[in-house]
Amino acid sequence: MSAFDIEEGKMQMSYIHPTMPQPMSVADYRKATFEVLAKDINLVDQIEFHKQDGQMIYYTLTGKAMDAYRL
């Protein structure tokens, strides 16, 4: 997931990584977060990144909704 802090001009990105080969619970993951100054990233790249992030979230939610409907 990504977030953009307008006041500080930072872009924060967070990723979840498994800590073991076969994760079974939330505790088996760790969250990696890093920040980059927005001025260091090309504006077009920022827009494209947010667009791709939104698509990933949309597809995940759509997939979960379809799975729930099938049940």
| Amino acid identity for residue 18 in this structure | P
Q: What pLDDT, on a 0 to 100 scale, did the predictor assign at position 17?
A: 79
Q: What pLDDT, on a 0 to 100 scale, did the predictor assign at position 51?
A: 73
Q: pTM above 0.85?
A: no
What is the CB-side half-sphere exposure of residue 65 using CA atoms within 13 A?
Answer: 6
Distance separating alpha carbons of residues 69 and 67, to the nearest angstrom: 5
The number of domains in the chain is 1
Distance separating alpha carbons of residues 46 and 50, to the nearest angstrom: 6
- pLDDT tens-place string over residues 11-66: 777 777 788 888 888 788 888 887 878 778 777 777 777 677 666 666 777 777 88
Q: Kindly tell me if the per-residue pLDDT of 1 is higher than 60.
A: no
Domain that holds residue 11: 2-70
Would you say 68 and 43 are in contact if contact means Cβ atoms under 8 Å apart? no
Distance separating alpha carbons of residues 14 and 53, to the nearest angstrom: 11
